[in-house]
Homo-oligomer: A and B are copies of this chain.
Amino acid sequence: MANSARRLPRLLRSTASEAPVYGRTPIGRSWTLESASGRQFSVGRVQKKAANKGGVSRAWNKDGCHIDRTRPTGSGHGWGARSTAKRSNAAPLIGVVAVVSAVTYVANAVKAGSKQAQDETDDGAVQVHSDSDDDENDEGSQGKIRLAEVTKHDRNSDTKWIIRGTSVYDITDFVDQHPGGEVILRACGGSIDPYWKIFNIHEKPEVYDILKEFHIGEIDDQDLGEDGQINWKVLGDAAEDFAVDDPFKYDPERDPNLIVRTAKPCNAETPGNLLDSFITPVRLFFVRNHLWVPRTHEAPQSITIELSDGEEKTYTVDDLKKKFKQYTITATLQCAGNRRSHMSKATHGPTSGLQWDVGAISTAEFTGVRLRDVLRDSGCGVEDDVPSPHQCDDEDADKHVHFSSPSDTYAASIPLQTALNPQADVLIAWDMNGEPLDRDHGGPLRALVPGTTAARSVKWLGHISINSEESTSQWQRRDYKCFGPNVKQKDASPEVWEKAQAIQETPVQSAITNIIKDDDGKKLTTRGFAFAGGGRSIIRVDVSADGGKTWKQAELQKDKAKGSRRWAWTLWSADWPTDELKKGQEHEFVVKAVDEAYNTQPEHFESIWNFRGCLANAWHSVRYQVQ
């Protein structure tokens, strides 16, 4: 049987919606399969071919349809791996590829020289016990499968098994078809359950149906506990490697001052009263993770640039340090969802995602090399004078630089024009506040795209390429977009998503972070930050103690920031003699800022409300009882 005939139909598109996963856009979906001839199949039409106990379950389309791979083979596994959405079919795949590909945190990096699992076998037949007949412990009673046997079929084995509940599945043939890419390898040789708890997009009948095709047996009773669940302890010392009960268990310790919005993945903001230093100490820098944090040996130690001829050029941190001019940039990073909790109080209703207060923003000094310099050195063929998409009808003019962490656990893109602009200061950075980048903030290497929403400053950066489309990741095509205030989540058709622009530069923003009464009670001081994207400096901050009826100008703190433009926030303060306030009454302190293009903040959230709750930059008001 030819390989092509055994492949699974390509997962084509998603439609249904589902509850949000850790604050990410809820984009659960049902799968539709497509044959090479364009015919579409529901999951139920996939033919069950064989499901023998202890044997191999194989499924293929009865039409023997050709399947376009959405991921190239031979690009390596684990933290060094990556996926590239097939250009011609990228659009309809956005949701599927992007979302599920988030899960490629494959522990235990590729063992050198091990046979890579993408190579398809010529025949599906696998003798389960072929190499373990001599090991009695591996022999399942009554044809059942011992846990120790399953553990042998890990990512490095020719045949890859997973456990769901107490059932065992051989997914060897499915790995290449997995819309989420190679992340699924991480579960091989163990249970997939902890991953599905995180990526609960899988928890639906259609997915169970697909999995059913690959069922090969049940875990032997000897390896079950009294509760009927797997007892990993039977593996002895090896238990820890396979009983992945908590993928977050290696996450770094965090400062207890941070306000944790979700623990797993860790999303934690800096408390307002600690936002008043121009440079935020690393330990207090807000944390925004979409997954668990890679362990030091899992994170990429180099950057690979994909060249136009398909070749690659790799730079280690040392290469970067030696070869290119180093720059230090003072940059404020802000989550696009900062102040979302304020927008959620608008009359239009709540928004989806992490309900940040004012602290999903921090400032640090980042050191690295200009992406521009590395791209030009790599031979990827970029010109200094990149043609503008406005200037010509040439589709190639609209190019994007894609950043991805290993195995597309996270991916995003920025316009090539930004990358090449020497005044845009886009860095590949290894240093934060004078120390090597820590794990939580993307070490050893991250992208730094100053003046742009933090979601584009990809952490654990391993791979860079230039493409004619934006990244197809969900973080580019879904999560970080805004819509008109009239667009409810239920109205968000694919066309609406497509039409909305991925957030890059961010609008002017400000917040009150602190109200302090001086010792003798004669003065209140309001303090806060103001920040605009695109390197636009803050030129004025207006403050009010009466809800915006009257204003005065705040004092702007004169901190020097490094960089070609103003990439850092401006801290401000305003004093209010208490005898000018009304004692015993609640005052509504308000702040709004003006950037160098005289952009201002909207007064209310209603006019900028969007169901994603992004870019919540209406005036910030804080009620305070004057004593």
Interface residues of A (CB under 8 A from B): 330, 384-385, 388, 390-391, 393, 417, 421-423, 482, 484-486, 500-501, 503-508, 532-534, 536-537, 539-540, 542, 548, 550-553, 560-566, 568, 592, 594, 596-604, 607-608, 615
Task: Point out the residue from B417, B532, B597 that lies within 8 Å of A423, measured CB to CB.
Answer: B417
Contact residues in B for A486 (Cβ distance below 8 Å): 542, 550-553
Q: A551-B484, A615-B598 are in contact. Are A388 and B542 (CB under 8 A)?
A: no
Q: A508-B599, A566-B390, A602-B602 are in contact. Are A542 and B482 (CB under 8 A)?
A: no
**Is there an interface contact between B597 and A504, defined as CB atoms closer than 8 Å?**
yes
* Bound-state Cα–Cα, A417 to B501, Å: 28
Contact residues in B for A417 (Cβ distance below 8 Å): 423, 564-565
Contact residues in B for A565 (Cβ distance below 8 Å): 388, 390, 417
Q: For residue A98, give the distance in angstroms from its CB to the closest CB of chain B.
A: 21
Task: Point out the residue from B507, B561, B601, B615 that lies within 8 Å of A390, measured CB to CB.
Answer: B561
Q: A484-B551, A607-B548 are in contact. Are A390 and B562 (CB under 8 A)?
A: yes
* Bound-state Cα–Cα, A500 to B501, Å: 33
Q: In this complex, what residue of B is CB-closest to A486?
A: B551
Task: Point out the residue from B421, B553, B615 that lies within 8 Å of A484, measured CB to CB.
Answer: B553
**Is there an interface contact between B560 and A393, defined as CB atoms closer than 8 Å?**
yes
Task: Point out the residue from B482, B553, B604 that lies within 8 Å of A603, measured CB to CB.
Answer: B604
Task: Point out the residue from B390, B501, B563, B596 that lies within 8 Å of A539, measured CB to CB.
Answer: B501
Contact residues in B for A508 (Cβ distance below 8 Å): 599
**Is there an interface contact between A598 and B482, defined as CB atoms closer than 8 Å?**
yes
* Bound-state Cα–Cα, A592 to B607, Å: 9
Contact residues in B for A551 (Cβ distance below 8 Å): 484-486
Contact residues in B for A385 (Cβ distance below 8 Å): 422
Task: Point out the residue from B501, B532, B597, B602 that lies within 8 Å of A600, measured CB to CB.
Answer: B602
Q: For residue A176, give the distance in angstroms from its CB to the closest CB of chain B.
A: 37
* Bound-state Cα–Cα, A388 to B504, Å: 22
Q: A388-B563, A390-B560, A501-B539 are in contact. Are A608 and B597 (CB under 8 A)?
A: no
Q: For residue A583, give the distance in angstroms from its CB to the closest CB of chain B.
A: 23
Contact residues in B for A615 (Cβ distance below 8 Å): 598
**Is there an interface contact between A596 and B505, defined as CB atoms closer than 8 Å?**
yes
Q: In this complex, what residue of B is CB-closest to A554?
A: B484
**Is there an interface contact between B600 and A603, defined as CB atoms closer than 8 Å?**
no
**Is there an interface contact between B596 and A564, defined as CB atoms closer than 8 Å?**
no
**Pairs across A and B, CB under 8 Å, 5 listed:** A393-B560, A501-B539, A506-B597, A601-B602, A603-B607
Q: In this complex, what residue of B is CB-closest to A503?
A: B598
**Is there an interface contact between A608 and B603, defined as CB atoms closer than 8 Å?**
no
Contact residues in B for A594 (Cβ distance below 8 Å): 482
Q: A486-B550, A564-B388 are in contact. Are A596 and B540 (CB under 8 A)?
A: no
Q: A390-B563, A421-B421, A560-B390 are in contact. Are A597 and B505 (CB under 8 A)?
A: yes
* Bound-state Cα–Cα, A297 to B602, Å: 49
Q: For residue A328, give the distance in angstroms from its CB to the closest CB of chain B.
A: 9
Which has the most chain B C-beta neighbours within 10 Å: A482, A564, A565?
A564
**Is there an interface contact between B599 and A599, defined as CB atoms closer than 8 Å?**
yes
Contact residues in B for A542 (Cβ distance below 8 Å): 484-486, 607
Contact residues in B for A423 (Cβ distance below 8 Å): 417, 421, 423
- Beyond the given A485-B551, A592-B607, A603-B607, could you list 20 further A-B residue pairs with CB under 8 A, ordered by the A residue number? A385-B422, A390-B560, A390-B561, A391-B563, A393-B560, A417-B564, A421-B421, A482-B594, A482-B598, A484-B552, A484-B553, A485-B542, A486-B553, A504-B596, A505-B598, A533-B597, A542-B607, A600-B607, A602-B602, A603-B604
* Bound-state Cα–Cα, A21 to B259, Å: 57
Q: For residue A532, give the distance in angstroms from its CB to the closest CB of chain B.
A: 8
